[in-house]
Amino acid sequence: MADSSRRAKVLLTGGATGIGAATAARLAASGAEVTILDVAEPGDGACAFVRCDLSDPAAIDAALEGLPGRWDVLVNVAGIPGPRPAEPVIAVNFLGLRHLTERLLPRMSRGGSVVNVASTAAQNWQRRAAVIDQLLDTADFAAGLAWCRENGGLWEKDPYTFSKQCVVAWSYRAVGAARAHGVRVNAVSPGGVDTRLTENFTAQIGAEQVAWMNSHIGRSATPDDIAKVIAFVAIGDCGWLNGVDIVVDGGMTAGRLGGWIDLSQSPAMLARGRR
C-alpha cells in the first residue's frame, strides 16, 4: 500500500469457513477492512459480506459493481474439493479466481497484493504444462469453460489437482500483468489442513495415507497455521516478495526432496505396487 496510514481494504473469497475464515479474522484483527465474497454467510459478522457464487462470472461482475472504489489486497481462498461433479471444481477453483482477479486488478492500489491459495496437490504442475497452458491461454471464463467441456479427458479424473495446478501456473503469469498496476501476486500452497473439506480429501487418498503423512510431520495443519502465512504475504512487510508459490505443509515437501521421507513406502504407493 502506498498510504500506510489508512486501513488496508481487503477483498477475500471463501471467508465463511476454514482457512478463509481464519484469514479474515487475522486480517481484521490487524486493522484491515475486510469484505468477504462467499456463497455462505460468515458466522461472526466481523467482516462485511457479499453473497457471490464464484462459479458464475455474471455474479462476480455484479458483486464487484456493488463494491466501488479502490482495493489494496485480494485474497483468493474459495475452493471446493470434488472430485465430482468436475465442472464446478474448475469453475470455482480456477476460472472464477482468474475472472475476479483480472476484473479487480485495474482497481487495485499501487503497492497492493494478490494472494492465491493453491495446494501442495499442485506440485509437479510443470509435467502437465502443455495441457495447463491450453486452459490458461483461453481469453475469459466462457472460453475457459468451453475448453474444459471439450477436453474433459485431459483433466476430469482429478479436477481438484488440475484446478490447483492451474492456479499456481496462472499466478506466475499474473505477476507480469499485475506489474503494470504496481501489484504483487503470490500463491500459498497448504498441505493437509483440518477443515470441513478434510473428509473429502481423506476419502480420496485414504485414512491410512493421511496417518502415514502425519506420522512424519506430527499433525495436519489448523486453518490458522495457514492463515498466518497468507496474512503476512497479503499485508506484511514483504514488498519484495513477488511471484512465488509458498508451500506450507509442516515439512512434508522437505522430506520428499531431502530424502528423509520415502514416498515409495507410503500406503498409497505400496498399494499401487500390488496392483
Query: What number of H helices and E strands is found in the chain?
Result: 12, 7
Catalytic residue among 155, 160, 201, 212: 160
Residue 40: C-alpha distances to residues 50, 104, 181 (Å): 9, 22, 31
Where do the H-state alpha helices sit in 71-121?
A: 86-90, 97-104
Using alpha carbons, select from 88, 162, 171 the residue that is nearest to residue 125: 162
Residue 263: C-alpha distances to residues 98, 250, 259 (Å): 33, 16, 9
| 160 in catalytic set | yes
Sheet holding 108-117, edge to edge: 48-51, 33-38, 9-13, 71-76, 108-117, 184-190, 245-248
Using alpha carbons, select from 95, 80, 100 the residue that is nearest to residue 35: 100
Where do the H-state alpha helices sit in 30-158?
A: 57-65, 86-90, 97-104, 129-136, 141-150
Contact 268, 209 (CB under 8 A): yes
Q: Which residues does the annotation mark as catalytic? A: 160
